[in-house]
A and B are shown apart, each in its own frame.
Chain A
Amino acid sequence: MKKKFTGILALALMFTMALTSCGGSGEKPAADSDEWKGSVAMAFPGLITDEAFNQFTYEGLMKAVEEKGIKKYAYKENVAQDEQVEVLRQFAQQGYEIVIGQGGQFGEAVSIVAEEYPETKFVFSVGVDTYDLPNMSAATVSYSHAGFIGGVLAGLTTKTNKVAMITGEFYAPHRQMEASFYEGLKYVNPDIEATAITTGDWADTVKAREASLALIAQGYDVLFPCLDAAGAGVAAAAQDSKNVWVVGAVADYAKDYGAEDVTAGSAVFAWDSLAYLEATGEVCDGKAHVVGMAEEGIRPVINAKLDADAQAVYDAAIADLLAGKIDIDD
């Protein structure tokens, strides 16, 4: 009986722990100040300690707050779909000048509240739709630039001249990314054979590994994953095979998954830069913005040692990209 009781107690504790870590608002009381330099509020879909999207965008917000001396700011983490409108409305009521819905799931909610508060500036982050509202802007990082840089790095890395992209599903940005990935490969060597496959799930690490192994068995030696958490599976597959490299996208594969041994480089989505631009009011003009290489929305990280020739090709590719000489979407 005692055993059973301790079991139930442990379980109750576990669940309380799980629940409390989900809840809890991170709102900071606004400081009264006479040197007011704009005010900003941000709603996050997840926890700001997730070491991924939420944390990086939070760090971008904090950087803006420190560098620009923003005295009045607020944020709320773990905002669920049904709370979005309420949270954004609350920010608008409290008089924040810029209100940001951080994440692609905020589009509808931002548009609803933006209509109610025409004096407040709203930003739909990781979105491209402004819903034709003059006070609503959208901003996202450039999937095309990431694809092109990934393509160049993959082209410079491959020995078998066969490379592959792995993604969860092909939505519009991933198609853009795929097209510019091929463009990047072509920039290095037009003879490289490339393919792209989907796993159907962004978090299924095991399936990502299986998909990678299927490609490796067919002679593909550079893998270009565009996945969420499942990306770790691609790194694992490369580690379990010989002479296979990963060129990461979105995350920094060497750092985030501890896969320095197999990562040639990564086209990292600089979520912190995106949030920084949003919080400092750079993208609040009622238009849709795509933040690319020039504004540091994409941050290339190179882990493999490139020889002089490869480095020259890479540098030229980046220069051409920045100069707008590469024919890809934004």
Chain B
Amino acid sequence: MVEIIIDWLQAALRWAAPLLIVSIGEVYAERSGVINMGIEGIMLFGALAGIAVGFYMKSLLMAVIITILIGALLGLIVAFLTVSRRTNQVVTGLMVNMACLGATDALFSLMSETRQSRVATFPALFPQSMHNIPVLGPLFFSQPVSTWVAFILPFIAGFILYKTRWGLNVRAVGDNPKAAATAGLSVIKIKYQTVVLSGIFAALGGCVLTLAEVGYFSAGGMAAGRGFIVMAACVVGGWDPIRTAFICLAFGAADAAQLRFQTANSVIPYQFLQMLPYIITIVALAIMVKRSIVPKTWGAAYDPKDV
């Protein structure tokens, strides 16, 4: 029984790690008022970049660096469209997702060599000898470096958001851009910064998706809705990095649990078990929304000339 629980928790941590990383950037973007819905597609680019660079250059460090560059570039496009051109954020996000899905599938079909071999993945942070320590070994010490980073990041992100001047600026821009502009802040610049950040973290999350443990990319949208789950987690978590991270972890735990329930051959139809994590998210959304404070210009365009 204990083994089953440890195995389940271990899976929950693994499952949540990429979501946590993506959520960091999204929290910042939404706090500054911009909903970057393109994170699902940007994740795909990150996932592909990780595999491609890992395969051709055999370097995980280069994979991370190039993923960051691609994420920043895609974030810049989203920022240009939604902040400078003031396009509808939802429509823009959907367009970015569709373009990224098509582009990654097409690019992957050109890199057929990568299909047949598994790319080296992130190493575990702690030595092999520590993996056998009861409970803690499998749960924490055997996790790859990316999982550790994913679980430390929300605390750093929370500190920056609440305890630094830049974090205050981000919150001010999201809540009252006019006042922020009057106080001398460059609203546009800060929105650009947060959206580019959301692009970077979405791409990194995608990179972790493929390079944490699987080592394969697959065509046809392997992000499989994780970007949208992160968006829901942001809302349920009240745009707080740590609470959002907690929601992501809960989602991962629910999904890991339903995969284990399916083997019980119970009378519950498997479709219902598959729905379970989503139902939990919706219920949480319904309960928590009342208590969370929405960034006041969430999803709204900002026109600096509009006084």
Show the binding face of A for B, using Cβ within 8 Å. Answer: 7, 10-11, 14-15, 17-19, 21-22, 47, 49-51, 164, 170, 195, 197-207, 209-211, 213-215, 217-218, 220, 228-230, 232-233, 235-236, 239-240, 255-259
Contact = CB atoms under 8 A, between A and B. Distances in A.
B222 A204 contact: yes
B304 interface: no
B3 A217 contact: yes
Contacts of B11: 210, 213-214
A232 B265 CA distance: 25
Given A49-B112, A210-B11, A211-B259, A239 B118 contact: yes
Interface string B98-121: 010011001101101001111000
A18 B222 contact: no
A21 B109 contact: yes
A18 to B, nearest CB: 4
A1 B218 CA distance: 36
A205 B216 contact: yes
A186 B77 CA distance: 57
Interface stretch (B22-30, B207-215, B287-295): B207-215
Contacts of B103: 14-15, 18
Given A197-B262, A229-B222, 16 more contacts: A15-B99, A18-B106, A21-B109, A22-B102, A197-B263, A199-B259, A206-B15, A206-B210, A210-B11, A211-B259, A214-B7, A214-B259, A218-B4, A228-B218, A232-B118, A240-B213
Residues of B in contact with A, size category: 35 or more
Contact residues of B: prevailing secondary structure: helix
Contact of B222 (A203, A236, A258): A203
A210 B256 contact: yes
Interface in B214-252: 214-222, 224
Contact of A203 (B7, B224, B265): B224
Contacts of A7: 73, 76
Contacts of B297: none
Contacts of B259: 197, 199, 210-211, 214
Nearest to A18: B103
A21 B102 CA distance: 10
A253 to B, nearest CB: 11
Contacts of A205: 210, 214, 216-218, 222
A202 B214 contact: no
Contacts of B213: 206, 209, 236, 240
Nearest to B116: A258
Contacts of B256: 210, 214
B14 interface: yes
Interface string B115-141: 111100000000000000000000000
Interface in B1-29: 3-4, 7, 11, 14-15, 18
26 contacts: A17-B106, A21-B107, A21-B110, A22-B102, A47-B106, A49-B112, A195-B265, A203-B219, A203-B220, A203-B221, A204-B222, A205-B210, A205-B214, A205-B222, A207-B224, A209-B213, A210-B255, A215-B263, A217-B4, A228-B220, A235-B216, A236-B118, A236-B215, A236-B216, A255-B116, A257-B115
B270 interface: yes
Contacts of A258: 116-118
